[in-house]
Amino acid sequence: LNMNSKIEDVEIIEIPRVHDERGLLAVIEGNTIPFDIKRVYYLYDVPSDAFRGGHAHKELNQLIIPLSGSFDVHIKDGDNTRIINLNKPHKGLLIVPGIWREIDNFSSGCVCLVLASAEYNEEDYIRKYSDFLAFKNS
């Protein structure tokens, strides 16, 4: 378990792009991100007033990418809070284990892609903020 993560451990990852007259191609492979991808999912048709996330992970790493549109990611480490607006499809937000995340302010037509380091496992989730704080302080 890595519950010692801090806000500073969350970072924007620049996704390499190839550009020509046909448009842009963003590529994620090999060492683009610091984990092997075991699960991919995406959020779409999310109402603008909806709220997603609202949890932390004990071991999972995630890269959150705004394929289209924009949204805000609120991250907390138990002491500090930061809001990061994601709005460029070649910039993903790397969220390490032990960081609380909430996502809101979805633009119309937004598509949010998530690359994860493991398959779904309910045991890896911390779904109550009070439990998250207890984990961080244990």
pLDDT of residue 47: 84
For the residues 38-66, what does the mean pLDDT come to?
93
The answer to whether residue 1 scores a pLDDT higher than 60 is no
Catalytic residue check, 55: yes
| 69-79 pLDDT, tens digit each | 999 999 999 99
Annotated catalytic residue, options 19, 55, 74, 90: 55
pTM for the whole thing? 0.93
In total, the chain counts a number of residues equal to 138
